């Protein structure tokens, strides 16, 4: 039964793109394809890439660690299937372009099975120490599954310099089309609540807020029921927030729920806050309680061009083309295949690009859905209308940053805080002059990184 929930909790700026979630919001999580091979990227997270722990020709078991790094900010990777290492070489990467991967060929038929997980109402997280939880999370290779993939062990580990007091669980899923987190909240509430308790215990947080956009009343109701049953009001609260893009950004969610600002260029622990995605919380529970490594994830496959859109539990390393084929292929000519959603996702040309730990969706859009790309539309000079300023959730001046990059004035772009841009795409979305502001800013960041790398120490 749907309840009418409207929240005033929000953040400055933002925009309201069409939600387009009806294609998959009512599709229960189904198991994905039984893959013949997977390409396990050695870089699926923020931080140091992993080094291979196996060689070509080695046999590996499902769940076996195949890559790791000694760096603190890193996370190991595991094989989701039993098979033979076919090769170790470069593969297409949605973010990095080309990156090293371990290709494992299935030894036999590897059907995808979703292990059962049920939380007893009297689950007691005090049975685990903070060190046990952090080490289990690290060994399982868990990273943030709703954003840039920051290693979760690093986030939840207590820090005397920056003690964490408040844990926010992010269930907003503000990106259009994507519904994997929504289905996880409806179907995997036991895992989420267990992960919440474990993350709170590990980090030392005192209070927990579960933020969910008010366009998801069913998820709000289910999570509230679970909190009442499993938490007994133990300083865990479900908080509806206003539906607005990008409400799921951690800085925006902190502003909406706590009315606090994360310093520019800073991180949430600087103000005593820890933010975790709902899928990450579920993975924490599986790692600590069941000793399951992160080898599979839920991916939304959506768009008007796909035959059977839905939410699928798939092995990490599955090729995009295999997932599209499993969903019945495309029913009409697609104009763009996006890893992620239409606002922050990345269009890929190579459909052999594998699913990684941070891949929440594959969105297949038609030309009708996307209209003409910005580069095909007639761009006009900036009319200084101020819409990009109003929409920017970081309160930047996107047009000035973009013009600085366009004229190769990278020092000027830095002065306008280009590094603070989260590349949410709001400025490009609202620009009446059809200027691809986000693209200029993203390019400027790349140029700046290269410039600093070439500077003498």
Domain residue limits, the chain: 29-114+294-370, 125-290, 380-454
Matching CATH topology for 29-114+294-370 and 125-290?
no
SS (H, E, C) 133-164: HHHHHHHCCCECCCCCCCEHHHHHCCCCCCCC
Give the C-alpha distances (Å, rounded to integers) separating 333 from 173, 303, 306, 325, 455. Answer: 28, 12, 10, 15, 47
Average pLDDT of span 115-136: 82
pLDDT tens by residue, 27-51: 999 999 989 999 999 999 988 999 9
Specify which residues 297 forms β-bridges with: 314
Does residue 8 or residue 455 have the better pLDDT?
8
Q: What order of strands is seen across the sheet that includes strand 83-93?
A: 37-41, 97-106, 83-93, 59-60
Say how far apart CA 363 and CA 23 lie, in whole Å.
11
Find out if CATH 3.40.50.11540 is the number for domain 125-290. Answer: yes
pTM of the model: 0.92
> What is the assigned CATH class of domain 380-454?
mainly alpha
Average pLDDT of span 67-84: 95
Q: Token pair for residue 396?
A: 């930047």
Q: Rg of the chain over CA atoms, in angstroms?
A: 22
CA atoms within 13 A on the CB side of 219: 27
* End-to-end CA separation in angstroms for the chain: 62
- Of the given ranges (48-52, 95-99, 451-455), which has the lowest mean pLDDT? 451-455
Specify which residues 213 forms β-bridges with: 241
pLDDT score, position 122: 65
Q: At what angle do helices 278-290 and 130-139 cross, to 10 degrees?
A: 100
CATH code given to domain 29-114+294-370 = 3.10.20.600
pLDDT score, position 49: 93
pLDDT tens by residue, 404-425: 999 999 999 999 999 999 999 9
159 phi/psi in degrees, rounded to 5: -135, 115
Q: What is the average pLDDT value for the chain, to the nearest integer?
A: 90
Average pLDDT of span 314-323: 95
Q: How confident is the model at residue 115 (pLDDT cuts 50, 70, 90)?
A: low
Say how far apart CA 426 and CA 430 lie, in whole Å.
6
Q: How confident is the model at residue 378 (pLDDT cuts 50, 70, 90)?
A: confident
How large a percentage of the chain has pLDDT more than 70?
92
pLDDT tens by residue, 148-194: 899 999 999 998 889 999 999 999 999 999 999 999 999 999 899 99
Is residue 332 over pLDDT 80? no
């Amino acid at each position: 039964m749907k309840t009418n929930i409207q929240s005033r909790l929000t953040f400055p700026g933002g925009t309201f793109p069409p939600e387009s979630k009806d294609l998959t919001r009512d599709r229960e999580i189904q198991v994905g394809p039984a893959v013949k091979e997977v390409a396990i990227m050695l870089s699926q997270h923020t931080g140091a890439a992993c080094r291979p722990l196996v060689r070509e020709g080695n046999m590996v078991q499902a769940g076996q660690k195949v890559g790791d790094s000694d760096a603190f900010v890193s996370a190991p990777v595991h094989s989701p299937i039993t098979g033979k290492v076919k090769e170790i070489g470069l593969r297409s990467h949605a973010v990095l372009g080309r990156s090293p991967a371990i290709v494992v060929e299935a030894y036999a038929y590897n059907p995808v099975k979703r292990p059962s997980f049920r939380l007893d109402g009297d689950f007691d997280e005090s049975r685990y120490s903070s060190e046990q939880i952090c080490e289990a999370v690290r060994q399982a290779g868990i990273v943030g599954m709703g954003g840039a993939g920051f290693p979760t062990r690093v986030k939840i580990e207590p820090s005397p310099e920056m003690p964490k007091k408040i844990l926010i669980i992010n269930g907003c899923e503000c990106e259009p089309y994507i519904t994997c987190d929504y289905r996880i909240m409806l179907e995997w509430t036991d895992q989420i609540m267990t992960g919440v308790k474990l993350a709170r215990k590990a980090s030392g947080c005192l209070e927990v807020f579960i933020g969910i956009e008010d366009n998801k009343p069913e998820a709000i109701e289910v999570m509230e029921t679970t909190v009442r049953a499993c938490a007994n009001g133990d300083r865990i609260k479900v908080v509806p927030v206003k539906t607005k893009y990008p409400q799921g950004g951690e800085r925006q969610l902190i502003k909406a729920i706590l009315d606090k600002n994360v310093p520019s260029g800073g991180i949430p622990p600087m103000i005593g806050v820890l933010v975790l995605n709902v899928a990450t919380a579920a993975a924490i529970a599986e790692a600590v309680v069941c000793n399951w490594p992160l080898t599979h994830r839920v991916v939304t496959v959506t768009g008007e061009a796909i035959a059977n859109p839905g939410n699928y539990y798939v092995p990490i390393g599955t090729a995009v083309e295999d997932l599209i084929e499993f969903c019945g292929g495309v029913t009409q000519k697609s104009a763009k295949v996006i890893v992620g959603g239409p606002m922050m996702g990345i269009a890929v040309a190579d459909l052999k690009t594998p699913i990684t730990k941070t891949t929440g969706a594959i969105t297949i859009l038609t030309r009708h859905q996307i209209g003409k790309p910005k580069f095909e539309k007639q761009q006009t000079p900036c009319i200084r209308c101020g819409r990009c300023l109003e929409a920017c959730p970081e309160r930047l001046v996107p047009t000035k940053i973009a013009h600085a990059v366009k004229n190769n004035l990278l020092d000027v772009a830095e002065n306008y805080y280009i590094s603070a841009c989260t590349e949410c795409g709001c400025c490009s979305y609202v620009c009446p002059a059809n200027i691809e502001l986000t693209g200029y800013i993203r390019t400027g960041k790349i140029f700046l990184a290269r410039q600093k790398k070439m500077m003498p120490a």
